[in-house]
Amino acid sequence: MDQISVALIHKALDGLSMRAVATAENVANVGTEGYRPWIVSFETALKSAAQGTLADIGNVRPGMARAPAAAFGEQLRVDMELATASETALRYSALLDVLGRQMQISRASVMGGQ
């Protein structure tokens, strides 16, 4: 696996980890009056950086910000937050699986296929 791919996976894992924390906080505050949920963004910046250099990827930082104030009567939906948590965990797991498989390939080539 080349350095660019490893850097992209590393940054994606950072962003997904931050999203998992933000989602957990959002779920914990579902019933809190006036709570503004956290949102995490990194995919667009990472996609753009992927077309550049390793340094461009290294400069990508996941962003965590409060969502805009909800309209009157609009509340945070726990079902949507749980869906986000599930999607985030699935994506994180898939990236770890890719890294694990790459490690197996590297180990096999170093050990001569043993």
pLDDT tens digits along 23-53: 999 999 998 888 899 999 999 999 999 999 9
pLDDT of the residue at 70: 74
pLDDT of the residue at 40: 97
Calculate the alpha carbon distances from 39 to 4, 5, 36, 78 in Å.
Answer: 26, 25, 9, 14
Give the mean pLDDT of 100-112: 89
Q: What is the pLDDT of residues 92-101, one digit of tens each?
A: 999 999 999 9
Report d(CA 106, CA 87) in Å as an integer. Answer: 29
pLDDT of the residue at 24: 97
What phi, psi does 29 have (nearest 5°)?
A: -110, 20
Q: What is the pLDDT of residues 45-88, one digit of tens each?
A: 999 999 999 999 999 999 999 998 876 667 888 999 999 999 99
Write down the pTM of the prediction: 0.88
